[in-house]
Amino acid sequence: KRFQSQGTGGAIVNIGSISAVVGLPEQAVYCASKGAVFQLSRQIAIDYASENIRCNTIGPGSVDGDFLRVYVESQENPEEAEKNILAAHPIGRLADPKEIAEGIMFLISDRASFITGANLQADGGYSAI
């Protein structure tokens, strides 16, 4: 509504997850919810393109931070869980939160003025496997 009232368009970036495009064991509801975020972004992109409002999603892989640490520590074998998470990313490491922020900054910038309805996978190659 704010973009509409200003009449100048704008850019929306929703936060998705690798889980929007890759299934994870025993995570059906989470994966479905993240897939829904991507589809919502696509629908917003279509519905508001004529008003110069763009909408995209960023799909992070595993990001170094508290959320991941809590998950790893909750596993039966935290060391094995961490090893498996790293192995799922061909780049061989976790994302720094700043790297995800850079992707978001790009998507809201004028450099991305022709990008709408897209999902930018910032996942260290996870979805390429």
The catalytic site residues sit at 30
User: Of 128, 31, 34, 38, which Cα lies nearest the Cα of 89?
Assistant: 128
Q: What is the CA radius of gyration of the chain?
A: 16
Residues with Cβ within 8 Å of 129's Cβ and at least 6 positions away in sequence, in order, are 88, 90
**How far is 97 from 100, CA to CA, in rounded Å?**
5
Mutual orientation of helices 66-74 and 78-87 as an angle, nearest 10°?
A: 130
Return the DSSP state at 126. Answer: G
